[in-house]
Chain A
Amino acid sequence: MTTPDVPTLVREILARRAEEPGALLLILHELQDALGFVPQEALPQIAAGLNLSRAEVHGVVSYYHHFRQSKPGRQVLQMCRAEACKSMGADALIAHAEARLGCKLHGQTADGAVSLEPVFCLGLCSSSPALMLGDELHARMTPAKLDALMAETRA
């Protein structure tokens, strides 16, 4: 399946969503779900479609941690760094992931395969430490399990 070009996609999303109350977040979510991020070039079109200023749309996109403003790696690895996971070694697990992937949190691997992102709580706090790879959850993680998961992903 090929993704339509950005203006066509935005036009199509606006046609379905623009009339809904508080539509901006809905639209940004749909765009990111389709493309993996919210491209800069889409903002003027969204602003015009919702009768907002470009600044208002930019303000919303940049306010929320969830919205990415650049293209992520082919897989996104979100690692929880909140307290419950910290109590079970999340910091060491994140350091292990950084060393293995050769990138820091908020970065991506040189080959563009994996983006490494922090997340504040996946609601798996009794099975810490936890992470999400793509839309798949993994709990009770260890460095060895993480290595196995990464090997599987990049195989």
Chain B
Amino acid sequence: MSSIVYVPCDSAALAVGADKVARTIADEAAKRGLEVKIVRNGSRGLMWLEPLVEVATPQGRVAYGPVEVSDVAALFDAGFLSGGAHALNLGVTDEIPYLKKQQRLTFARMGKTDPLSLDDYVAHEGFAGLAKARAMAQADVVQQVLDSGLRGRGGAAFPAGIKWKTVLGAQAAQKYIVCNADEGDSGTYSDRMVMEGDPFMLIEGMAIAAHAVGATRGYIYARSEYPHAIATMDKAIVAAEEAGYLSGFKLEVRKGAGSYVCGEETALLESLEGKRGIVRAKPPVPALVGLFGQPTVINNVITLASAPIILAHGAAFYKDFGMGRSRGTLPIQLAGNIKRGGLIELAFGVTLRELLFDYGGGSASGRPIKTVQVGGPLGAYLPESQWDTPLDYEAYAALGAVLGHGGIVVHDDTADLAQLARYAMEFCAIESCGKCTPCRIGSTRGVEVIDKIVAGKQREQQVHLLRDLCDTMLHGSLCAMGGMTPYPVMSALNHYPEDFGVQAKETTT
């Protein structure tokens, strides 16, 4: 009888040798005269265990990890094809506490299926949401999304249903669905995982949106830094189209070109039009004047990928998760200097402390955790005193912080927050589109001012100047690039003044 072995094809597994491990398993099986079928699944998201190899047993799938090429022969000796004991044996995958404690809605299939198998997808509730949506009136589909409380998962947290409703109400010969897959925030990879590990879910979400608002064309704008995601999406679109799931909705992937600001929705639309990714002034909103001037739904990957489960199970089911005005779940990505980093999908309301220690197990270096940046390069640095705040859009806003796209980057006590603040300004100077002055000039001046503070030149005046500059950027920038760069800078200065050589009392002047 043939055994089934799963070796992930997610980039995070490939980057630590999954292809070689898969080849070695095939070779070793052949050498021993054993029949093995290797399935290249998505990643379960337990990144510190990649490559995480699973085998199908009567008790369920049993996991081994992290597996290196040099472990393969010993795994065969230990009878891993039937779940045999070995130092890398992690038990039944679904029982691993890190996975079991999660509330996986959007990521329910992740790692279980072959990403490009339509049969796998359909066998795991795939296209159930689309079937329901197509049997409903357009306005009813939009109402479901509104009622679910789903807010944009890209970072801005704008209610998705309101965008959809605006596009539905707009009169135009051509409407578009655009998926923002320009996942540039350091510490985030949930979009990449969806595209590489469950691409039909994104296609289904976009097809639901297309039906809901009457759009016939869709684009997925993906980063050039994600070659595997792009290749998998391309194949999945062809497969879904050939199997008749798109019903005339024409969908294609477009590749970005390494510009961070193209993650801002209007810059993204400019880039899709083949121009420089320069931010547009709003209004008009893209829902009315979007791609090529037409009404456009533009949502993040996770937002669109949440539509299938909302339609399949109903708005109330989804809304039951979460707290306050943050409904549903957030796919959190625990990253940086952390022992057990990975994808953790949970209802809003969990605290950083639970994530860092219950899930993450503390820092990878074994040193004390000094600070945590939440929400990407434009998110605030949070000191330990703030780690008990529930992950909730409003609670974070009250701290002067953001949840963003759910990326959490951990730094140990060797981190120098003055250097990280300087880096935030430098990054803004490199990535600014240049349209508005506070962002274009302010970022360069910010680097200079921080250098002067650190060098101790007129420190008190320079701190005052940095605050004034951040105030101008915050209130005077056209988009979040310049408008939010002050978040990491000011939080670093306020919570870690000693790293700037500044006395705590000086920071408030």
CA distance A130 to B184 in the complex (A): 15
Chain B residue numbers with a CB within 8 Å of A86 are 420, 423
Q: Mark A51-72, 1 if CB is under 8 A from B, else 0.
A: 0000010011001111100000
Chain B residue numbers with a CB within 8 Å of A125 are 186-189, 333, 335-336, 341, 407, 409
A121 within 8 A of B: yes
B292 touches A21 (CB 8 A): yes
CB-CB nearest in chain A for B192: A123
A124, A132, A135, most chain B CB atoms within 10 A? A124
The 8 Å CB contact of B274, one of A25, A83, A139, is A25
CB distance from A38 to the nearest CB of B (A): 10
CA distance A22 to B224 in the complex (A): 17
A24, A59, A122, most chain B CB atoms within 10 A? A122
Known contacts A83-B409, A87-B415, A123-B183; A63/B336 CB under 8 A:
no
Size of interface on B: residues with Cβ below 8 Å to A: 57
Known contacts A83-B420, A125-B188; A137/B274 CB under 8 A:
no
Q: Mark A113-127, 1 if CB is under 8 A from B, else 0.
A: 000000111111111
Q: Mark A6-47, 1 if CB is under 8 A from B, else 0.
A: 000000000000000111111011000000000000000000
A150 within 8 A of B: no
Known contacts A124-B15, A125-B409; A85/B186 CB under 8 A:
yes
B225 within 8 A of A: yes
The 8 Å CB contact of B47, one of A28, A122, A127, is A127
CB-CB nearest in chain B for A125: B335
CB distance from B8 to the nearest CB of A (A): 12
Residues of B213-271 contacting chain A, CB below 8 A: 224-228, 254-260, 271
CA distance A140 to B405 in the complex (A): 23
CA distance A58 to B50 in the complex (A): 43
B411 within 8 A of A: yes
A127 touches B16 (CB 8 A): yes
The 8 Å CB contact of A63, one of B259, B272, B335, B342, is B259
B321 within 8 A of A: no
CB distance from B366 to the nearest CB of A (A): 13
A138 within 8 A of B: yes
CB-CB nearest in chain B for A83: B186
CB distance from A126 to the nearest CB of B (A): 3
A101 within 8 A of B: no
CB pairs A–B below 8 angstroms (10 shown):
A22-B273, A25-B255, A84-B186, A119-B225, A120-B258, A121-B183, A125-B186, A125-B409, A126-B47, A137-B15
Binding site for B on A (CB under 8 A): 21-26, 28-29, 56, 59-60, 63-67, 82-88, 119-128, 130, 132, 135, 137-140
Given A82-B186, A120-B258, 11 more pairs with CB closer than 8 A: A26-B274, A67-B257, A120-B427, A121-B186, A125-B188, A125-B189, A126-B48, A127-B48, A127-B50, A137-B228, A140-B15
Q: Which 8 A-B pairs have the closest CB atoms?
A: A126-B341, A82-B186, A66-B258, A64-B257, A125-B335, A24-B274, A126-B47, A139-B15
Binding site for A on B (CB under 8 A): 11-12, 14-16, 47-48, 50, 183-189, 192, 224-228, 254-260, 271-277, 292, 333-338, 341-342, 364, 373, 377, 407, 409-412, 415, 420, 423, 427, 431
